[in-house]
Structure 1
Amino acid sequence: MRWRRLHRGRPMSDPNHATQNVFDGTVQFPVLILRQDALTNNLAEMRGFCADNDVTLAPHCKTHLSPELWRMQQEWGAEIATVATVAQAAALFEHGVRRILIANEVVDRAGLRAMSDMRREDPGFQISMLVDSIEAVTLIERILEEVAADLPPLPVLVELGARGLRSGARTLEEVIEVATAASATRVLDLVGVEGYEGVFGKLSGAERDRAIDAYLDSGVVAVRELIDRGLVEAPAIATFGGSRFYPAVVERVRGALSPSEATVILRSGCYLTHDHGTYAASHADVPSRVGKPRLSPGMEVWGVVLSLPEPGLAIAGVGKRDVSYDEGMPVPLAIRRDDVVSELTGVSVTRLNDQHAFIRVSPDSVPLRIGDLIAFGISHPCTTFDKWRTAYIVDEDYSVESVAHTLFH
């Protein structure tokens, strides 16, 4: 029956059909689209930035968790896929990804067994993870001795944290203690230091910049200390860099550590699509003496105006189940009416329900009509992607060039 084939953001017949236009009447709204021109620009910009600064790119694929988008990143120079959980690693492994960094601690038996099973299934598979305490090292060692005694040592990095914030060893002394414990085991192979300067993102201005610089400088000290103590071989891995402050990583870490001392790895996940909100603002705000990529927002969610219940208010069929809202409201960008797409100004989203957006319409805006299609830019790609299983990659006319599938469950 035809209704059984109706899926949000997917065509009514073949969900893998990739030759249509998203406005040809076969796709249900809301729909997630990615603009090919922006993706290509961002891929080229980041590849150039990394090449110019002698850093390696390991994009955080928990952003999109899409095999198609990972392959696109890989074709443009990304070498390692970063994830946050064993489940994400397993999803990418099943789609052929063979170099993965879990930028997190894994201390449960099921997770460590799954990692071991993947390594056993493909001896060429490379996977690493983080440790941040002697207690964790001891627990991991005990489990791996039981489930992975036949495998080579598992590569690990000591996570450097910051007091009062997320996980990670708090001091240089703790880093050394954890590194010493990991190096003393038979089942772990210490390869470097990891950190995430994005934990300072809630600070602002000069206070934030000073905190990030001091944190990254302490990472440099930690890498050198571990090399000098013979706990890690040079070149060690030094991996930092979320999606906001990676130019600082290049300046403070790559600028301090020679290639013979360390391979510097950035892990930005949101550069591929960028956004119209938090990352656009922070990208413009972050100072950089090493330059930064010129990124373009390439992610839109289109929805239909469903109701005009009172003057100055429109209700669109886009809500919390369709777009991110943790780092700001979606941004109305464009309107499509009578087969014409034009810029939309004078409107804003004031709040979201599960399936509805409340749009405040100013007197100087184009009057909205029921049935109008509205494009929304988003703030924070990670928490938009995880709401979708299909994203259409489109050209400037919104003709579908390809389809990206996500592996979120």
Structure 2
Amino acid sequence: MKYYELDTPALLIDNEIMTENCRLMQKYADKYNVALRPHSKTHKMSRLARMQEEMGAKGIAVAKVGEAEVMAANGLRDIFIANEIVGDIKLNRIKKLSETVNISFGLDSIAQAEMVERVFEGSKRPAHVLIEIEVGEERSGVIDKEDYIALLKHLKGCNNIYLKGIFSHDGNSYAAESIEACREIHLRSQERTLKFAKIAYEMGFELETVSIGSTPSMLHDFPILDGVTEIRPGTYILMDASQASVIGSLERCAASVLTTVISLPTPERVITDVGAKGITAQTRSKGITATKGLGLIKGWPEVSIFDVFDEHAIIYNKEFHDALKVGDKVEIIPNHICPVVNLHETAYLISNGEVVEEIPVDCRGKLK
């Protein structure tokens, strides 16, 4: 089947572009002699996670326990949940997973460590954790050196927790004002992460893993400092309009949403059959990832989505309008592909205009 014969809305993935994106990131990791652990929250498909491992990735990262369970059930055996996991229900699920796969997760407080220690009592395998270091994103992670040292001291007294390493996420790179500013964020976040790693070494911990990552800071061959062992970019596999802004080109955007023109009600207005429930209502308005509107139209670089309702995209452009008729199909390149994938049950792998595979988004909706 030709891809434009698909019913819409439909999530499309260009196989050749996606494969090249994976090759380039693996080449980057290999150049700096670090492991690549792709964050699979971008694509949420065990099929693509296995492909990334086949191309050289060490394992995968996920965001939620539910994603880890799906990935483990589909053959992935080295999984890091790059998030703080809190609560007996979730920790017991990890405890069960640890019986069959190599699984680790994020930690950033003594209160959380106390929960983990209690739940993993009697487990054949201790909980494998990585302490998260806050490096400027202003999200989770240890901020103060004193709190970090206190947490390390607490872990020394734990019998059911193994400190595998530390990790950080320079998500503030998305809002960097320039490529050079992004480079500085990338380097400063590594320096801070390595500073905290040094403290752990000095306190007698042997860290297996020092993990960093975000896609914008890994698209321009910025250096990876000695002591970092692993990178965790995610969006690079599919890219999107905001990542295209980082490199100044849409050519590496592997994913798009096919949509049908359902109305041309004015001389400028175009309505298509996908809205917030298929492409989200996310914007990118700051820094190197800034984009125009709510998504771009493939093949029409100056045309963007003006607004969305739940099931409608609204576009205003007379030239675009005049080139279309009701029933035509166009492709939208989303601003942020990660939440878009989560809205679709399947993705269609495309090669040379043909649908070659329908891939279930098997981690879709796994929010717990």
TM-score surpassing 0.5? yes
Report the counterpart of residue 88 of structure 1 in structure 2: 67
- In the alignment, which of 296, 303, 307 is matched to residue 347 of structure 1? 303
Relative to structure 1, the CA distance from residue 153 to residue 248 in structure 2 (aligned partners, 3 Å threshold; closer, same or farther) is farther
In the alignment, structure 1 residue 309 sits paired with structure 2 residue 265: yes
Larger Rg belongs to: 1
Distance in 2 separating the partners of 1:159 and 1:248: 25
Distance in 2 separating the partners of 1:387 and 1:244: 23
Relative to structure 1, the CA distance from residue 346 to residue 219 in structure 2 (aligned partners, 3 Å threshold; closer, same or farther) is closer
**What does residue range 295-306 of structure 1 map to in structure 2 within 5 Å?**
296-306=252-262
CA contact (8 A) 1:197 1:215 kept: yes
Report the counterpart of residue 35 of structure 1 in structure 2: 14
Q: CA deviation at 1:162?
A: 4.5
Report the counterpart of residue 256 of structure 1 in structure 2: 226
In the alignment, structure 1 residue 138 sits paired with structure 2 residue 105: no
In the alignment, structure 1 residue 158 sits paired with structure 2 residue 113: no
- In the alignment, which of 204, 227, 233 is matched to residue 268 of structure 1? 233
Distance in 2 separating the partners of 1:42 and 1:192: 28
Identity rate of aligned residues, in percent?
24
String of CA shifts for 1:118-164, please: whole Å, max 9, x gaps. Answer: 223x2xx100011111121122212222xxx1322111111101478
Distance in 1 separating the partners of 2:183 and 2:28: 21
Q: CA deviation at 1:54?
A: 0.7
In the alignment, structure 1 residue 280 sits paired with structure 2 residue 244: yes
Which amino acid letter does the alignment assign opposite residue 135 of structure 1? A
* Number of residue pairs matched by the alignment: 354
CA contact (8 A) 1:106 1:129 kept: yes
Distance in 1 separating the partners of 2:70 and 2:46: 9
Q: CA deviation at 1:199?
A: 3.4
- In the alignment, which of 5, 23, 32 is matched to residue 4 of structure 2? 23
Distance in 1 separating the partners of 2:194 and 2:185: 14
Report the counterpart of residue 216 of structure 1 in structure 2: 190
Q: Structure 1: where are the runs of 5+ without partners?
A: 1-19, 286-293, 334-342
Q: CA deviation at 1:355?
A: 0.7
* Greater Cα shift, 33-42 or 133-142: 133-142
Distance in 1 separating the partners of 2:90 and 2:220: 33
Distance in 1 separating the partners of 2:105 and 2:39: 13
Q: CA deviation at 1:176?
A: 2.2
Distance in 2 separating the partners of 1:348 and 1:163: 31
Report the counterpart of residue 358 of structure 2 in structure 1: 403
CA contact (8 A) 2:135 2:192 kept: no
String of CA shifts for 1:9-55, please: whole Å, max 9, x gaps. Answer: xxxxxxxxxxx32334xx32111110011012112111211111111
* Greater Cα shift, 50-59 or 156-165: 156-165
- In the alignment, which of 233, 248, 253 is matched to residue 206 of structure 2? 233
Distance in 2 separating the partners of 1:324 and 1:63: 14
Relative to structure 1, the CA distance from residue 169 to residue 309 in structure 2 (aligned partners, 3 Å threshold; closer, same or farther) is same
Report the counterpart of residue 150 of structure 2 in structure 1: 177
Higher helix share: 2
- In the alignment, which of 25, 43, 55 is matched to residue 76 of structure 1? 55
Report the counterpart of residue 58 of structure 1 in structure 2: 37
Which amino acid letter does the alignment assign opposite residue 2 of structure 2? N
SS of 1:354's partner is coil
Report the counterpart of residue 88 of structure 2 in structure 1: 109
Relative to structure 1, the CA distance from residue 349 to residue 142 in structure 2 (aligned partners, 3 Å threshold; closer, same or farther) is same
- Cα RMSD after superposing both structures: 2.3
**TM-score in terms of structure 2 length:** 0.89
CA contact (8 A) 1:239 1:267 kept: yes
CA contact (8 A) 2:86 2:112 kept: yes
Which amino acid letter does the alignment assign opposite residue 255 of structure 1? L
**TM-score in terms of structure 1 length:** 0.81
Report the counterpart of residue 199 of structure 1 in structure 2: 172
